[in-house]
Amino acid sequence: MTVRVVVDPVTRIEGHLRIEAMLNDSGHVGDAMSSGTMWRGLEVILQGRDPRDAWAFCERICGVCTTVHALASVRCVENALGITVPKNAEIIRNIMFLTQMVQDHVIHFYHLHALDWVDIVSALKADPVATAALAQKVSPSAEKASPGYFRDIATTLKKYVDSGQLGLFDNAYWGHPAYKLPPEANLMAVAHYLEALKWQKEIIKIHTVFGGKNPHPNYLVGGMASAINLQGDSAINIERLNMVKDLITQAKQIVDTLYIPDLLAVASFYPEWTQIGGGLGNYLAYGDIPQHGISDVSSFKFPRGAILNKNLAEVLPVDPADAGQVQEEITHSWYEYSGGKTALHPWEGETSPKYTGPKPPYTQLDENAKYSWLKTPRWKGNAMEVGPLARVLIGFASGHGDFKEVVTAALGALKIPAAALFSTLGRTAARGLETQLAVQWLKDEFDNLIANLKAGDSTTADTSKWEPSTWPAEAKGYGFTEAPRGALCHWIHIKDAKIANYQIVVPSTWNASPKDAKGQHGAYESALLGTPMADPKRPLEILRTIHSFDPCLACASHVIGKDGRKLSEFLIRV
C-alpha cells in the first residue's frame, strides 16, 4: 500500500514549500510533488513603474539573496537601453556578488543543512579531549581546538537540552537512525556552527561599504552609487578599503580552516548518499563574474552552458534571449495564460494567478491537477537543475582549471569517482567547492579594484543614458546572474519610458517546479525518487535532499499587495 508523506512547511528555508512523497512497498519514494504554497506577484507590481526603480523592488523579493535580484535587474535595464558600466562598477558588482555567495554558502552548510547530518543531542556524549584531537586532525590550522574549548561548548549545549528548549537547535529528528557521526564529530560541528554564526554578520559589512547597507544594498542603473575618494572622509576611502581587505582575509580563513575540512569530514561518514538524490542529470548555468564586460561571456569566471543526461563531454550553448530555449509552462501551476497558451518565453510572459486547488487546510494535493504557485520553466523542453552542482559540473566539463583543481582534490580526499557528484552529497559538496573558488576570486576582484584605483580611475557610474529622453520608445532586455541557489534571469519590456512587462525566473522556480505537460518532474521531485526512508513519521531523508538545493521559496512565490499595502501585521513579544 502506498504511504504518502507530507512535509509542510519544509523548515530551515526562506518561504513556503510543501513536499508530498509517495512511498512504495519497499519504503522508497516512488513519486513526489513539490508545491510552492504562496503566490509571488512582483511582476504585477512592477508594471507601469520607472525601469530605473525596478532593482529596488526586485531586491526585496527576499532577505536571504539580498543582492542578486538588484544585480539582475540593473543588468536587465542596461541591456535594454544599451548601457555599458565602467570597469570599477563591474568589479564592485563582482565583489558584492562574491561576498553574498561566500556568506550564503557558509550559512547554508552550518545553519540550514548541517543539522540533517549532525545529531546535536548526541554531542552531549562526546569526550572533549577526543573532540579536540579530532578537530586538530580534521583542520590542523584551526584556531580553536582545545579540550577546554569543547568542554565549554558541551556545557552550553547541555543547558539547552536540560531546559527542554533547544532554541536554535529545535525542530529536528534527534536520535534518528540515519545519523552516523560519532559524538565527537557532532560536538565539533556544534562548535563550528556557533563560530560561523558569529562570523557571518561580519563579512556583509563589505556590502555596507560599497552598497550603503545590508540587507538590500544600493545599486544604480549605469554602475554603482559608490563614490570613491581614497583620501576623503565622506566617500569610500583607503581606511574602508583596508577594512574590506581584512574582512576578505577572515572569510578565507573560515572557508579554509572550518567549512571545507568540516564538509569533507562529514561527507566521509555518508558514502551511501553519493548514490541517492541525483535527480534529473540535466544542468543549466547562465554564468557570471565577468572580466571584460557582461557581453563577453567567454571571460566569465563562472562559465555559461547546459549539460544534458550527465554528459560531461559536451557543454551546450545557452542564450536567455532565445525564445526557443527558455519557456515557462503552467500545466500544473495555479496560473492562466491568455489564448489558451500553456508555455511562454518570459519576454511574452504573463502573471495571472488562478487558484484551483483545495481549500486550505487540506490533507493532500492532486498530482494530476494543478498543485503549485510556481511555474514550470524548461530549457529546450528539458527540466533542468540549477545551482552550485550545475555550476561546478559546467566549469569542470568546460575545462576551467580552477574547477578541475578543486573537484579533483575533493574527489581524491573522499576516494570517490566523479560520478558521485550526481547525488545529494555531491550537491552539498559542490557548494563547498565553489565557496573555495568564490573566496579566492573575491580577493582577486578586490586586488583588481585597488589596481584600477592606483591607475587613477575612480569612476563608478555612467549616467549618459540616465534620462528617459535618451531612450528608445520601446526596448527589451534581460539581465542574469548566478544566485547562490542557481541561474537567475530577469526580462523587461520598456515602452514609453515605463515597464510594460517584467518577468523573473528564479533558481527555486527551476528546481522546485511542478511537472510539465510531458510529465517531466522538476529537480526537487526527481531527486527524491528512489530515496529510502527509515521512518515515514520522521522524514529526515527527504529534508537532506531538499535542503541540499538550499530552497528559497520567497523568490519563487512572494506575496504583497498590488498597491504596496501591508497584507498582514504581526506583533512579536519576547
CA 539 to each of CA 69, 86, 152, 191, 535: distance values in angstroms, whole numbers, following the listed order: 33, 50, 32, 26, 6
Residue 379 maps to a domain: yes
Q: How far apart are CA 438 and CA 101, in angstroms?
A: 7
545 vs 141, 197, 247, 524, 531, CA distance in Å? 31, 23, 32, 8, 9
| CA-wise closest residue to 482 among 109, 89, 69, 43 | 69
Question: How high does pLDDT run on average in the chain?
Answer: 93
Judge whether 334 lies within some domain. yes
Domain total of the chain: 2
Query: Which residues constitute the domain of residue 17?
Result: 3-115+198-556
pLDDT at residue 82 in the model = 97
Are residues 85 and 144 located together in one domain of the fold?
A: no
Q: For 369-385, how does the pLDDT look when each residue is reduced to its tens digit (9 = 90+)?
A: 999 999 999 999 999 99
In terms of domains, do 308 and 204 share one? yes
Q: At what angle do helices 424-454 and 401-414 cross, to 10 degrees?
A: 140
Answer yes or no: is 563 within a domain: no
- Dihedral sign of CA atoms 482, 18, 114, 281 in order: negative
Q: For residue 244, give the 3-state DSSP assignment.
A: helix
CATH of the domain at 314: 1.10.645.10
Residue 557's pLDDT is 62
In whole angstroms, what separates CA 192 from the centre of its chain? 21
pLDDT at 469: 97
Q: Which of 150, 174, 197 is the last residue of a domain?
A: 197
pLDDT at 568: 39
Residue 214 lies in a domain: yes
Q: Domain end: 197, 218, 253, which one?
A: 197
- Residues 337 and 406 reside in one and the same domain: yes
More confident site: 565 or 120:
120
307-336 confidence digits (pLDDT tens): 999 999 999 999 999 999 999 999 999 999
Task: Answer yes or no: do 325 and 237 share one domain.
Answer: yes
Residue 103 and residue 248 in contact, taking contact as beta carbons nearer than 8 Å = no
Return all residues near 412 (Cβ < 8 A) that are at least 6 apart: none
* Single residue among 197, 229, 245 that ends a domain in this structure: 197
- Kind and range of the H or E run holding 254: helix 238-254
Q: What pLDDT, in 10s, does the model give residues 480-520?
A: 999 999 999 999 999 999 999 999 999 999 999 999 999 99
| Same domain, residue pair 495 and 373 | yes
Residue 12's pLDDT band (cuts 50, 70, 90) = confident
Binning pLDDT at 50, 70 and 90, where does residue 558 land? very low
Reported as a single tens digit per residue, the pLDDT across 220-273 is 999 999 999 999 888 999 999 999 999 999 999 999 999 999 999 999 999 999
pLDDT at res. 326: 97
Asked whether residue 571 is assigned to any structural domain, the reply reads: no
Q: What is the pLDDT of residue 555?
A: 76
For the cut 50, the answer to whether the pLDDT of residue 564 exceeds it is no
The candidate with the shortest Cα–Cα distance to 353, out of 539, 210, 560, 66, is 560
pLDDT over threshold 80, residue 572: no
Residue 573: the pLDDT is: 39
Residues annotated catalytic, as ranges: 14, 62, 65, 69, 485, 508, 552, 555
pLDDT at res. 1? 64
Q: Are residues 147 and 35 in the same domain?
A: no
Residue 574 lies in a domain: no
Q: Which of 202, 223, 241, 205 is nearest to 449 (CA)?
A: 241
Same structural domain for residues 269 and 302?
Answer: yes
Residues 522 and 427 placed together within one structural domain of the fold? yes
pTM: 0.94
* 335 and 451 belong to one structural domain: yes
Asked if residue 155 and residue 91 are part of one domain, the reply reads: no
My answer on whether 209 and 186 are in the same domain is: no
- The reply to whether 305 and 372 lie within a common domain is yes
Q: Which of 210, 204, 195 is nearest to 139 (CA)?
A: 195
